[in-house]
Chains A and B, each alone.
Chain A
Amino acid sequence: MEYAHATGTLSGIWLLVAIPLASAAVLLLLGKRADKWGHWLGVLAVAASFVLGLVFFISLAGLDADKRSAELSMWDFISVGGLHVDFGILFDPLSGVFVLLITGVGSLIHLYAVGYMEHDPGRRKFFGYFNLFVAAMLLLVLGNNYVMLYFGWEGVGLASYLLISFWYNRPSAATAGKKAFLMNRVGDAGLAVGIFLMFATLGTTQYQEVFNGLGSLSATTVLVLGILLLLGAAGKSGQFPLQAWLPDAMEGPTPVSALIHAATMVTAGVYLIARSNYIFSANSTLQIIVVSVGALTLLMGCIIGAAKDDIKRVLAWSTVSQIGYMFLGVGLGGGAYALAIIHLLAHGFFKANMFLGAGSVMHGMHDQVDIRRFGGLSKYMRWTWLTFMMGWLAIIGIFPFSGFFSKDPIIEAAYSRDDWTAWLFGTLALIGAALTAFYMTRLFVLTFHGPERYTEENKHPHESPFIMTIPLMLLALGSIVAGYLLSTSIPDWLEPVTGSGEGEPVMAKWLITTLTLALSIGGALFAWSLFRRGTALQEQPAGVVVTAARRNLYTDAFNEAVFERPGIYLTRALVYLDNKGIDGIVNGIAAGIGGSSGRLRRLQTGFVRSYALSMLTGAVLVVGAFLAIQLGWLA
């Protein structure tokens, strides 16, 4: 495979990243002077990128199918010995659709945020971070090598961390920011080690050269490389075992949840795997692992989502679960890569729609997030209700809404594997569809229908202003039509990047479609009948399954026991060792801030002696190690 050089109109693709970056710089550096107009600049920058993206997309479509890519090498970034990294950009069918998703949905969410953040004193800063995020995300999908991808990867991580912690005065926001940061770091480390492994075995990180050089690698190397990339992808996309941060990330402002933690950043993992499809298709064990991660996560997300009462958390777990579908798709390989991307794009629309809808509900309800305290809101918020309904119908996959066209083919593809696993994964995906219908209906009914269960301060819900509902309407339109449009166009469009080919399902396609629809409607009806008369206002005692689901299936407890505790102990042990029996840090600080001189004297003698002792111990160890090596050498 080979990428064509960027020529003509396409040589301006760097502008896509540069515009939001410049805007972010202006917003963050100008400070208060930009308070009055800053948010409009932010909206404009993203909209400009969208228009440009559209222009580039059309010129790309005008090229021959086999030359449909534009690579632009800006400068030689690092070259150390055999390692050579370009600062280069690649605009091809895959990055093209991502650019449109990021800037298109991004523009709408930016517009919405103008209204949502109206009363927040930090609005300008918020838009600065938001633009920074868009620039980083565009860099992520536009890089022409893994190092550039890593740039964007770190950038979106940083912006996400800042935006989750945006409401710093809520302790939960700070904790959530920390959690997101740490879990993402695990994934980032995997990606970084994977990139170095690529460099060690192939001597390059350019996409083109990596994919062409794969043939020379052993199966084990490909497997390890794939697992490392998958670890990165799972961290960013909230997939098992790194899923716990995503629901907590909902502490950030709602537009952030919609843009970063639903529509774009969390799909970066899917992008990474789709981009690296040559690597993942090269090893069937790897594909099984990806499929298993996807299937496991999609079920986990459904089960936990069904037990949550916080509107944003339910949506967050549904995001986890829907990305599980996408992982399932990219794991299946062949034509299913395109299916996963279709689902990703369709999901970008309907999930952003629902998140913004949830934001609109919170806006009208004094930031109440507990769905047990909603009910009957359809009367007060017509537009929010209608648009949310489109998103709801789309996610549960009712014909002819977009989820139907995007999810059903993935289930079919899962049933098309060529051994017994077709039954396993196909059926898991099918169960997932039924559960999705159940918990999303629960959310919808408890929020918009049934008796009113408001608290004292929320007696008078109101609809949001037009600046917030107009993006909702546009996104709702997307939730209706996007699926059909995408499913008829994307597979051919992506064929040069991801390849094609599909197997024959183990049962007839119409049967799978019928089953999916029937189970979804069944799940929805069941939820309707359970919740149409409202629900208890407090948490009720529950059986084993529900309790486990409320506790996130004990994954948090697991993380705490396996990672957090040992981490804390390691830190404590190191601190202890570093201070050799003296509670040095405390004393040191006390002395540093101006403790008594007597205390300092004691501290001083103690320290030097113990420091010298620790140096002596180190010296004995180092000398001993050298001598041991020498003795071993003689033997």
Chain B
Amino acid sequence: MEPLKLPAIDYVALAPMLILFGVACVGIVVEGLVPRSSRHPVQLGLAFLGIIAAFVMVIVSHGKRLVTIGGAVAVDGPTLFLQGAILVLGAVSLMLIGERSIEKGGAFVSQAAITVGSQKDLRQASQQPGATEVYPLTIFALGGMLLFVSANDLLTMFVALEVFSLPLYLLCALARRRRLLSQEAALKYFLLGSYASAFFLFGVALIYGFSGGIRLSDVHAGVANPKQSEVLLYAGIALLAIGLLFKAALAPFHVWTPDVYQGAPTPITALMAACTKVAAFGALLRILYVAFEGVRWDFQPVLGVVAVLTMLVGAVLAVTQTDMKRLLAYSSIANAGYLMVGVLALNKEGLSSTMFYLVAYGFSVLAAFGIVTLVRDADGEATHLSRWAGLGRKSPLFAATFTFILLAFAGIPLTSGFTSKFAVFGAAVEGGQTWLVIFGVITSMLIAFPYLRVVVMLWLSEPGESTPTVSIPGFLTSAALAIGVIATLALGVVPGPLIDLTQDAAQFVR
């Protein structure tokens, strides 16, 4: 019997993930050891420290290009850039998650499974402080996302997918207000997410059958020299893609998005809209650019149709929305379509502009959901659009902030919304995908309408009797909003440095 050979492991390259998983485990221990009253600051500080340490390790690994731990993880430009992006956006989401001054006890309840409407449930929703388990759960999710964007074989990718999905399912169920809706969102997300994972896993099996390997480089080699029927390959690509399209909220696999975004606690919605998007597109980029580069002209038209459908669905349905969180959900769907346009450029510019878009959109969407957490009445967040009418009169600063973010979503110049769309469309034109750009431009013209309608409503309507108040944000939320707005402005006016960074990073290792 041959002695077992251990694979070489580059611990520095893996450090960001190890740190996050370690911190999450410590967080669980903290739950058991630290008294209830001081858990919140301890957990929050621990989570921030973990993220900062992980981010430092990402910077330390700068310039690395290697495949480690037996080919399971690839650390290269896109990995490090996307990991950095997830960590920064994750830190900002954590600020929203950790906010406790807007609502007594925070945006979460401590037990998700209590029967809604029972005495116990009412008591926990109205009095008891929220669960501090949300911090380890968030860190687990972020760790899974880091692994997801660096996974270099299909099984690792699947494991990472589950690692970051499961905590999110749980977090969705913890909203303090509208408990039923929250539970419903969690269950829906879980059922549909498992369903999509099954597709993904089936795809992995087919690709393994086709190429005899699960490493992306093996798949690449298998595509170059097919030894099996290509039916396996194409069916495999389709099924893998479906799993990822679901996470990225592309039509027709977007159906869960509005319900889940609406039902989940708003800070978690922000986390999903910013970080999950980065993770899902990171993995999609890697699979398409690394494993299936050899058949790019075959998947390109199919995914192109998906992108067009997504942009249309997002833009057209956003027009009819009457709930702010659902509106933002459809906006997030449309943005997934624009991102897909960048992905399908299938060149270096496509890769770099998609990464730029992910970061720019992440900051804006965090600020948008951050503001949603502030507009409240006695029943919690007042998300119905009509309730926002005339808010500009009552709270000009917040209305101005939100207006700015909406203008960014609408792609008005001098915001990051313009530069990022311009970059992905420019890349797609260079990649010969002008038809996608035409649809992109048309739908982005369309979707500007619901955004600007909200702007007009904010400023040019009389506040009604029932216009909710804007809560004074605590330090954490203020910081998150400031970061989101400043990033949106800076990336709109001087996008150069970040674009250069994405260009330097835009090279996958195989």
User: Residues of A contacting B238 with CB < 8 Å?
Assistant: 619, 622-623, 625-627
Query: Considering the chains assembled together, what is the distance between the CA atoms of A192 and B413 in angstroms?
Result: 12
Contact between B434 and A200, CB atoms less than 8 A apart: yes
Residues of A close to B178: CB separation below 8 A: 592, 594
* A-contacting 9-mer, from B20-28, B186-194, B481-489: B186-194
Given contacts A168-B460, A571-B320, A623-B235, contact A80 B427 (CB under 8 A): yes
A597 touches B116 (CB 8 A): yes
User: With an 8 A cutoff between CB atoms, is B396 at the interface?
Assistant: yes
Nearest residue in B to A570 (C-beta to C-beta)? B316
Q: Is A536 close to B, CB under 8 A?
A: no
Contact string against A for B residues 302-334, beta-carbon threshold 8 Å, 1 for contact and 0 otherwise: 100110000011001101101100100000000
Q: Which of A591, A614, A626 has the most B CB atoms < 10 Å from its CB?
A: A626
Within 8 A of B (CB), among A191-240: 192-193, 196-197, 199-200
Given contacts A619-B239, A627-B235, contact A592 B430 (CB under 8 A): no
- Residue B237 interfacial (CB < 8 Å): yes
Question: Do the beta carbons of A600 and B180 come within 8 Å of each other?
Answer: yes
Question: In the complex, how many angstroms separate the beta carbon of B440 from the nearest chain A beta carbon?
Answer: 9
| A307 on interface, CB distance cutoff 8 Å | no
User: Which of B33-41, B70-78, B278-286, B443-451 is near enough to bind chain A?
Assistant: B443-451
Instruction: Decide if A608 touches B320 in the complex (CB within 8 Å).
Output: no
Q: Judging by beta carbons under 8 Å apart, are A575 and B298 in contact?
A: no
> Within residues 234 to 251 of chain B, which ones have a CB less than 8 A from any CB in chain A?
234-235, 237-239, 241-242, 246, 251
* Residue of chain B at shortest CB distance from A136: B413
Give the chain B neighbours of A594 by CB distance below 8 A: 178, 379
Say yes or no: is B102 at the interface (Cβ < 8 Å to chain A). Answer: no
Whether B298 lies near A196 (C-beta < 8 A) is no
Mark out the residues of chain A between 153 and 200 whose CB falls within 8 Å of any chain B CB in the assembled complex: 154-155, 158, 161-162, 165-166, 168-169, 174, 177-178, 181-182, 185-186, 188-189, 192-193, 196-197, 199-200
Q: How far is the CB of B410 from chain A (nearest CB, A)?
A: 9
Measured CB to CB, the closest approach of chain B to A360, in angstroms, equals 26
Task: Decide if the interface of chain B is mainly helix, strand, loop or mixed.
Answer: helix
List the one stretch of A70-78, A320-328, A367-375, A381-389 in contact with chain B: A70-78
- Measured in the bound complex, the distance between the Cα atoms of B419 and A151 in whole Å is 11
Find out whether the CB atom of B396 lies under 8 angstroms from the CB atom of A31: yes
Q: Which of A82, A591, A618, A623 contacts B252 (CB 8 A)?
A: A618
Q: Are B426 and A83 in contact (CB under 8 A)?
A: yes
Q: Is the CB of B412 within 8 A of A158?
A: yes
Q: In whole Å, how far is A373's beta carbon from the nearest beta carbon of chain B? A: 29
Cα A541 to Cα B470 in complex, Å, equals 56
In whole angstroms, how far apart are the Cα atoms of A591 and B306 in the complex? 31
The answer to whether A633 and B320 touch (CB under 8 A), given A200-B434, A574-B313, is no
Contact A197 B320 (CB under 8 A): no
Interface residues in B197-255 by Cβ distance below 8 A to A read 199, 230-231, 233-235, 237-239, 241-242, 246, 251-253, 255
At the interface, yes or no: B11 with Cβ under 8 Å from chain A?
no
Q: Which of B199, B234, B414, B429 contacts A626 (CB 8 A)?
A: B234
What chain A residues lie within 8 Å of B195 (beta carbons)?
612, 615
How many residue pairs link A and B with beta carbons under 8 A? The number is 212
Q: Kindly identify which residue among A161, A192, A199 contacts B452, using a CB–CB cutoff of 8 Å.
A: A161
- A residues 604-635 near B (Cβ < 8 Å) are 604, 607-608, 611-612, 614-615, 617-619, 621-623, 625-627, 629-630, 633-634
Determine whether A253 belongs to the interface, using a CB cutoff of 8 Å to chain B: no
Which residues in window 108-137 of A have CB below 8 A to B? 125
CB neighbors of B among A1-43 (8 A): 28-29, 31
A-chain residues with CB within 8 Å of residue B301 when the two chains form the complex: 629
Residues on the B chain within 8 Å of A627, using CB: 231, 234-235, 238
Complex alpha-carbon distance, A574 and B456, angstroms: 26
User: Which residues on the B side are within 8 Å of A591 (C-beta)?
Assistant: 180-181
Binary A-proximity of B173-184 (CB < 8 A = 1, otherwise 0): 000001011001
Known contacts A154-B412, A189-B441; decide if A78 and B419 are in contact (CB<8 Å): yes
Question: Any chain A CB within 8 A of the CB of B494?
Answer: yes
Least CB distance from A150 to B in Å reads 7
Complex CA gap A548/B446 in Å reads: 31
A634 to B455, CA, bound (A): 53
Which of A80, A174, A608 makes the CB contact (< 8 A) with B188? Answer: A608
> What 1/0 mask marks residues of chain B from 125 to 166 whose CB sits below 8 Å from any chain A CB?
000000000000000000000000000000000000000000
Give chain B residues whose Cβ lies under 8 Å from the Cβ of A188: 445
Asked whether A147 is an interface residue with its Cβ less than 8 Å from the other chain, the reply is yes
CB contact between A588 and one of B230, B259, B379, B423 (< 8 Å): that residue: B259
Known: A78-B495, A168-B460. A619 touches B181 (CB 8 A): no
Across the interface, do B499 and A571 meet the contact criterion of CB distance under 8 Å?
Answer: no
> Is A455 interfacial (CB-CB < 8 Å)?
no
Given contacts A81-B348, A83-B430, A625-B302, contact A630 B456 (CB under 8 A): no
Given contacts A181-B449, A571-B319, contact A154 B413 (CB under 8 A): yes
Q: Which partner residue on chain A sits nearest B352 by CB separation?
A: A80
A489 CB–B CB distance under 8 Å: no
CB distance from B503 to the nearest CB of A (A): 8
Separation in Å of the A176 CB from the closest CB of chain B? 12
Q: Does B508 contact A (CB under 8 A)?
A: no
A578 at the interface (CB under 8 A from B): yes
Residues on the A chain within 8 Å of B242, using CB: 615, 618-619, 622-623
* Most B CB within 10 A of own CB, among A575, A600, A615: A615
- For A622, the chain B residues whose CB sits under 8 A away are 238, 241-242, 302, 306
Q: A78-B419, A199-B429 are in contact. Are A611 and B188 (CB under 8 A)?
A: yes
Given A78-B419, A593-B384, A615-B255, do A177 and B456 touch, yes or no (CB 8 Å)? Answer: yes
A177 CA / B425 CA spacing, docked (Å): 29
B262 touches A626 (CB 8 A): no
Contact check, A629 vs B259: say whether CB atoms are below 8 A apart.
no
Distance A630 CA – B292 CA, assembled complex (angstroms): 14
Residue from A79, A571, A578, A612 having most chain B Cβ neighbours under 10 A: A578
A617 to B412, CA, bound (A): 36
Q: Which residues of A contact B116 (CB under 8 A)?
A: 597
Contacts of A588 in B (CB 8 A): 258-259, 262, 326
* Interface status of A585 (Cβ within 8 A of chain B): yes
- B180, B349, B412, B426 — which one has the most chain A CB atoms within 10 A of its CB? B426
Q: B398: CB under 8 A from chain A?
A: no
B441–A192 CB distance below 8 A:
yes
Chain A to chain B contacts (Cβ below 8 Å), 21 pairs = A75-B494, A77-B495, A81-B348, A81-B427, A162-B456, A162-B459, A196-B429, A200-B429, A574-B317, A578-B317, A588-B258, A592-B181, A592-B262, A592-B323, A615-B252, A622-B306, A625-B305, A629-B234, A629-B298, A630-B230, A630-B234
- 8 closest cross-chain pairs (CB), A and B: A618-B252, A168-B460, A81-B349, A151-B413, A626-B234, A185-B445, A623-B238, A611-B255
Can you name 8 extra interface pairs (CB under 8 A) apart from A165-B456, A192-B445, A593-B384? A78-B422, A81-B349, A81-B426, A151-B414, A182-B449, A193-B441, A196-B437, A625-B305
